[in-house]
Structure 1
Amino acid sequence: MKNPNGYGSVFKLSGKRRRPWAVRITTGWTDDGKQLVEYLGYYETRQKAMLALAEYHNNPYDLSAGKITFKEVYERFKKEKFPKTLKSNQSGYQMAFNRSKMLHDMKFVDIRKSHMQSVIDNCNKSHDTLRKIKVLFNQMYKHALENDLAQKYYSRFVELPKNKDKSTRKPFTMDEINLLWDNIDRFDNIDAVLIMIYSGLRPGELVEIKNENIYLDKRYFRGGFKTDAGTNRVIPIHKKIHRLIENRMDPKNEYLITNFEGNKLSYYTFYHERFKKIMEQLELDHRPHDCRHTFATLMDNAGANKLSIKRIMGHAAKDITDKVYTHKDIEQLLIAIDKIK
């Protein structure tokens, strides 16, 4: 079906290209009737190109790379990125954007390293906040370069100050871990704390584990998010928590960790109503992420293979070229995790 006059067109470029489908918009006409056009962008498939054209007409913006502002690039980035991003990361991007107010109305092509560096240098917040601002800059430039809205990756030159923030994360001591084991039959949910300590799971990842992704006979489960390396990774089950996981699994429930009705438990509820209560009962001073830090410490102290530690914890590494796990890979992860005694 032909598009209406002036609607724009989608066509395939010649040659071998990663994004061969181009979208072109009519922006006007010369005095002698010649059509004036601007390119909306380039896409991997015709379907994506048609969708981009339709979205443009639902919410038109100035296509000229010389006119589009930082704020407009952010709105485009947001529309593309947020549907595929966790809410916690969305909040981080929005916070970083709000902290970059001095750039909002600047033409994107006029922004240089010095402008972004000024945002960082004049933001009197934590190092983690500054890091999130730079992450946003990098993501926006990636989007801009992919859509021909920028010619140079200026954000890569932005520098963060030395991190002087004292880390609040501290691993559980062996005495504290033994205290958890000693009280596992006395207090509910201590098993969930131990599962995190012996798996390296983030607390937010723990409440997302589904029973269907747990393979007790093969001693591993799949789970995780946040990074490409961390999403849906294979996590071996340490022998000490095998029974704890088995006891938690209920065929009537979808998730491993649930509320009293057997439904999915939110991270907020897990932290405030369960984890904090355990820490108070045992007079311990820890936050949920300390469990993950403890796992890393235990693995390192046991001399586990560095690459295996990265794969289990979902850390990006140059040595990890894909996310395909063979039987041999899983065996290596089990060997690594069983080094913890």
Structure 2
Amino acid sequence: MECIKCKKEIPDESVFCMYCGKKQAPAVHGVKKRGNGQGTVYKMPSGTWAAEITLGYYMQDGKRKRKKSRKYGFRTKKEAVEYIATLKQSPKKEKFITMFQLWELFQTKKETLSKSKRTAYNIAWKKIHAEIEYRQIDELTVPELQAITDKYGTSYYTKRDIKNLLSHLYQIAIRDDYTDKNRAQFIQLPELQSQEREVMTKQEIELLWNDYQKEPSAITAQMLTMLYTGIRPGELLTIKVENINLDEQYMIGGIKTTKGKNRKIIIPDKIKPLLSWLMETGKKGLIAYYPSDVEFYDAWKQKRSQLNIRDVITPYCCRHTYITRLTTLKVSPAMLQELAGHEDYDTTLEYTHLSIAERLQEVNRLD
């Protein structure tokens, strides 16, 4: 070795230089880095070796901390390395898992869910992850979960999505023996307020037609398609070009009930050219391709604002408008139920929203 002062060669492991008398710095035994997930071994000041693994992470005073499991007192480095396998197999390790690790495990299960559910859970995770991702599942209390849900859930439905997502994560933790209880089930949701769906006015429908004729856009064409076919937003987003028969004027689609699935949805003459344009310009074999449902709804909000259509008008209002307009045209109940794809007429009645003026017109027909 070389003296740290005079730079002359001296015997290895010399404490003092034989030429200048300078005390040599002792070798520093720091943490020995191994591959991720392989554990760590390091030498203690006493000269013995320690083995260590990371069990998970938690937040303390706003900082991310590691939860570790260690074993001290090994005479050699080899003994410490060999003991890492024992630490990994220890039941103690099974007690700790973070919410982020559970979210990662949930990804496989999430792929079996519908596209709308996957979107809802992705949005829910984005809202709450900063609060919980490094927390261990058994550290979270019901009051904490309730506070997080209330803080980030802006409506009944977003609160419901957060609760359901957390419940999925708890189910994975229970399955893998990280916990024995699903605390998410105790999250209280607000009472769901019944909401009367609005229907589009004749003037608002004309605004859409004028916009499409001025400069065709996908979202305008898609809204008009829903207004004239009664198709649900979820159905629109999954209708494939190959399932549209323009010659015979129907398309195959439908979700929800047995009556509503794989039904023939009638295409009126007025929107045949519009649907033809959507088929030609669509992507990935769909007439309404969006990377996620959120982008579809965002596109409508932007168009709605541009055309000065009321904020209460959502894509689902198109279906209510369709059924209400057919009702005012005196379409028979049996035909109305068939066109709506409902299993019973009582459900169809829930979609009709006749104004006071329309009701007055009917009762004034009495002699």
Q: Could you state the TM-score of these two structures normalised by the residue count of structure 1?
A: 0.50
Give the structure, 1 or 2, with the largest relative contact order (CA under 8 Å, sep 6 or more). 1
Q: Could you state the TM-score of these two structures normalised by the residue count of structure 2?
A: 0.47
Q: Which has the larger radius of gyration?
A: 2
